[in-house]
Amino acid sequence: MIPELGHYALILALALALVQSIAPFVGALKRDGTLMQLAGSTAVMQFGFVTISFAALTACYVTSDFSVATVFENSNSQMPLIYKVTSVWGNHEGSMLLWVLILSLFGALVALFGGNLPAPLKANVLAVQSWLAAAFYLFILFTSNPFLRLPHPPFEGRDLNPILQDPGLAVHPPLLYLGYVGFSIAFSFAMAALIDGRIDAAWARWVRPWTLAAWTFLTLGIAMGSYWAYYTLGWGGFWFWDPVENASLMPWLAGTALLHSAVVMEKRNALKIWTVLLAILTFSLSLIGTFLVRSGVLTSVHAFANDPLRGVFILAILVAFIGGGLALFAARAPLLKRGGLFAPISREGALILNNLLLTTSCLTVLVGTLYPLALEVATGAKISVGAPFFNLTFVPLFMLLMSAVPFGPLLAWKRGDLAGVTQRLTAAFVLAILGGVATLAAQGAAAGLASLGVGLALFVMTGAVVDLVERTGFLRLSPAAALARARGLPRSAWGTAVAHFGLALTLVGIVAVETWASERIVALKPSQSVALSGYEVTFEGTTDRSGPNYRERVATFTVREGGVVVGVMAPSKRSFRTREMTTSQTALMTRGLSQLYLALGDVERDGAVVVRLYDKPLVLLIWIGAAAMALGGALSLSDRRLRVGAPRPAVRPAIAAE
C-alpha cells in the first residue's frame, strides 16, 4: 500500500508538472494573470506530492519492506536506523528521487519567495523549472522506478554496499544535490530572460542569491565528499581526480564564475550576455555530472548504476536541455541590450579575468574527464587520465587565478588604479615573499612548488585582510569609528573576504599535505612498534567484536610522543555477512590541525598485520578552508540587499518601466 501511494504521488506530481510546463508559459505570452498565477500553486503542490513520494519510499526502507525491489537490493533489517534512512539515496533509483525532491523544493521556494518578481518572469521561470521536473519524473517512472514490487518478497534484504554504510552518506549526497539542483534556478531564470528577450540589473539581483545558495551547498557537499573519501578509502588521499569528483568540481568552477559575473551585472549592468550563458553552462555541467554518474559510463567507486536504457534517456534529457538552452541563447542573446562601459583595469576587468581563468580551468577538467570516453568511442583504446594530467593543466591555471584574487576587491569599479592597489598590497607581497623564502630555507630547493604555494596562500590571505582593513579604515580611523564602519560594512564584503581567505586556507592544507606528509607501510606483530615523524605507534593486539550486520576485528595501537602516551588508535576490518565483503575502518588522531592516519592492510602470516601509517600535517585546513568559503557564501547571502524575500524598493522603477 505505502509503495503504491508513493508511486501514485509521483505520477500526480508529473501531471502537475505537465500543467505547469504549459499554462504559465501561455499565460506569460498572453499576459493572462490567472494562468501565470497557476504556476505558484502547482509548484508548491508538486513539492508536496514529491515529498509524499519520498516519505513513502523512506517508510519502505525504515520498515524493511523487502517486497519493494530497491529495498531488497539495498537494505537489510539488521542495519542501524540511520543507514536504513540513508540507503534511500544510496542507490540509483532513490538518489534520483532525492534529485527531484530537491528540484521541486527549489521550484516551491521560488513560488513562495518570488512575490516581488514581475509576474511574467516568475511564470516563465516556474514553467522552465517544470520542464526539468517533468523530464526527470518521466525518467524515474519509466527507467528507475524505486517502487517496483517483487512477486515473491524475500525474507531478508541484500544490504547496502558496505562502503556506503557510513555517516558520510547522510550528508554528502543531499548537500551535493542541493548544489547541483540549486543551479537549475539560475538556468530557469536565464531561459526566462531569453524567452522574454529582456534582462536588467534586477534580474541579476534575483539570480544571485539562488546561485550563492547553490554554490554554498555545493562547496560543502564537495568538501564533505572529499573528507569522506579521505577517511574511508584508506589511502589518505583527499582528492583523486576521479571522474565522479570532477563531475562535481566542474559545476563548482562554473558556478563560482557565475557568482562573480552576476556581481558585475547587478552592480554595473554589464556582462549580461555572458552571465546568461554562464547560467546555462553551469546547470548544463550539473546535468552532465548527473549523466556521468547515473548512466554508468564511468568505472569508478561511485558509479553504481549500470543500465543502457537509463543512459540513453539521460542523454536525451541532456541534449534537450543543454542543446535547447544554447539554441535559445544563440537565437535570443543578440536582443539583450549591452550595458555599462569600463576600462580594462577595473573591478569589472578583474572579474572578467576571474571568469576567464575559472572557465578555462573548468574546460581542462572537462577535457580530462571526457577525453578517455571520446577516445574509447573513437578508437577503442582505453586510457586513464589521473592526477598527473590535472597537475599539469588545472593547477597552473588555478595558481594564476589565485595570484589575481587579492587585486579584484581592491580595484574600483569602472576605472581602477593598478599601481595604487599594488601599493596597498605591499604588506601582502612582503608576507608572501617571506613565507616563500622561509619555506625554501626550511625545505631546500626541492620544495620550490611548495614555497610558491605557501607564498600564494599568504598573499591571498593577507589580501583578504587588507581588503577588510581598507574598507573599515581600521588603521586610519579611531577604533570606535572603525568598529562602526565594520558594523556598517555590507555582509557581502565580509563574505568576499572570508571566502577568499578560506580558499587560501585550503591551499595551505593541500600544500602542507602534498609536501610534508610522511607514510610508513609495515607489517607489525603484537608489541612491535613503528616510528613516524616523532610518534611511536605500538601494536597491542586484536580483538573481535560484533556489530549489527557485520563482524569486526579491531586492532589497537598505542601512540607515544617522546615516550608519553598521547592516545590510542583502533582501526578495524569489518566483514559484512550479507555481501561477504570486507571494509577497512581507518583510525584518525587529530593533533591541532594535523592528523595521524592509520589503516589496516591485509593480515599476514603469524598474526602480523600490515598497517599504513600516515602523518598528515595541517590536513584539516583543506576542509576548514572549504567551510570558510561556504561561510563566506552564507554571510553574503545574509546581506540585506540580497535576502531572498526582502522587499527591494530599488527594483520598483525597473518594474514600473515595463
Give the residue, chosen from 1, 377, 378, 381, that forms a contact with other proteins under the rule CB under 8 A: 381
Residue with Cβ nearer other proteins (70 or 462): 70
Q: Is 35 in the site for other proteins (CB under 8 A)?
A: no
β-pair partners for 524: 609
Among positions 511, 573, 615, 617, the unique one binding other proteins when judged by CB under 8 A: 573
* 584 contributes a contact to other proteins by CB under 8 A: yes
Compare residues 307 and 470 and give the one whose CB is closer to other proteins: 307
Q: Interface with other proteins includes 602 (CB under 8 A)?
A: yes
Q: CB of residue 541 vs other proteins: minimum separation in angstroms?
A: 19
Q: What is the DSSP letter of 73?
A: H
Q: Which grid cell sits at 207?
A: 539570480
Helix (H) or strand (E) holding 587: strand 587-591
User: Does 601 sit near other proteins (CB under 8 A)?
Assistant: yes
Q: How many residues bind other proteins (CB under 8 A)?
A: 53
Beta bridge partners of 573: 553, 584
Region binding other proteins by CB under 8 A among candidate stretches 91-99, 376-384, 535-543, 621-629: 376-384
Give the count of beta carbons closer than 10 Å to the beta carbon of residue 147: 25
CB of 551 to other proteins, least distance (A): 14
Strand partners, 550: 576
CA dist., res. 371 & res. 562, Å (int): 51
Return the range that interacts with other proteins (CB under 8 A); candidates 257-265, 375-383, 432-440, 546-554. Answer: 375-383
Considering the complex, what minimum distance in angstroms separates the CB of residue 610 from other proteins? 5
Nearer Cβ to other proteins (8/389): 389
Q: Which stretch binds other proteins (CB under 8 A): 172-180, 308-316, 541-549, 608-616?
A: 608-616
Nearer to other proteins, 615 or 639 (CB): 615
Segment interacting with other proteins, rule: CB under 8 A, options 29-37, 98-106, 132-140, 339-347: 339-347
Question: Which residue among 386, 420, 607, 647 contacts other proteins (CB under 8 A)?
Answer: 386
Using the structure block, give the residue that is written with the C-alpha cell 528540484.
Answer: 103
CA distance linking residue 208 with residue 185, whole number of Å: 10
SS3 of 313-364: HHHHHHHHHHHHHHHHHHHHHHHCCCCCCCCCCCHHHHHHHHHHHHHHHHHH
Query: Binding of other proteins at residue 538 (CB under 8 A)?
Result: no
User: Judged by CB under 8 A, which stretch of 160-168, 477-485, 529-537, 557-565 contacts other proteins?
Assistant: 160-168
> Taking the CB of residue 269, how many other CB atoms lie within 10 A of it?
17
Shortest CB 550 distance to other proteins, Å: 13
- Here the cell at position 220 is 560543502
382 lies in the binding site for other proteins (CB under 8 A): yes
Under the binding rule (CB under 8 A), the answer on residue 154 touching other proteins is no
At its nearest, how many Å lie between other proteins and the CB of residue 46? 34
**Alpha helix (H) ranges present in 75-118?**
81-86, 92-113
Q: What is the DSSP string of 178-231?
A: HHHHHHHHHHHHHHHHHHHT---HHHHHHHHHHHHHHHHHHHHHHHHHHHHHHH
Residue 533 zone, left/alpha/beta (φ > 0; ψ -120 to 50; rest):
left
Query: Quick one: which of 370, 522, 566, 593 contacts other proteins (CB under 8 A)?
Result: 522
> Residue 32 has which C-alpha cell?
493572462
> Whole-angstrom distance between the N-terminal and C-terminal Cα of the chain?
52
CB 358 within 8 A of CB 253: yes
Pairing of strands 594-603, 609-616: antiparallel
Name the minimum Å distance from CB 489 to other proteins: 32
Tell me the C-alpha distance between 456 and 450, whole Å. 10
Binding track over 298-337 against other proteins, x by CB under 8 A: -x-x--x-x-------------------------------
* 387 φψ region: left (φ > 0), alpha (ψ -120 to 50), beta (else): alpha
Among positions 196-255, residues that touch other proteins (CB under 8 A) are: 234
Determine, following the binding rule CB under 8 A, whether residue 607 of this chain makes contact with other proteins.
no
Whichever of 184 and 583 has its CB closer to other proteins, that residue is 583
385 binds other proteins (CB under 8 A): yes
Among 5, 55, 69, 367, binds other proteins (CB under 8 A): 367
Q: Whole-number minimum distance, CB 104 to other proteins, in Å? A: 31
Q: Kindly give the interhelix angle for 347-379 and 387-404, rounded to the nearest 10 degrees.
A: 170
- In this complex, which beta carbon is closest to other proteins, that of residue 520 or of residue 643? 520
- From the CB of 165, what's the least distance to other proteins, in Å? 12
Is residue 578 a contact partner of residue 549, using CB atoms and an 8 Å limit? yes
| 564: nearest Cα among 532, 536, 523 | 536
Q: Whose Cβ is closer to other proteins: residue 290's or residue 583's?
A: 583
Query: Does 18 interact with other proteins (rule: CB under 8 A)?
Result: no
Q: 574, 550 in Cβ contact below 8 A?
A: yes
Residue of the chain from 64, 77, 582, 638 that contacts other proteins (CB under 8 A): 582
Site for other proteins in 340-359 (CB under 8 A): 341, 343-344, 352-353, 356-357
**Taking CB under 8 A as the rule, does residue 396 contact other proteins?**
yes
Query: What is the C-alpha to C-alpha distance for residues 45 and 9, in angstroms, rounded to an integer?
Result: 11
- Alpha-carbon distance of 400 to 337, in angstroms, equals 32
What Cα–Cα distance (Å) separates residue 287 from each residue in 36, 95, 322?
27, 14, 8
Give me the residues that bind other proteins (CB under 8 A), please: 161-163, 234, 299, 301, 304, 306, 341, 343-344, 352-353, 356-357, 360-361, 363-364, 367-368, 371, 381-386, 388-389, 391-393, 396-397, 521-523, 573, 579-584, 599, 601-602, 604-605, 610-612
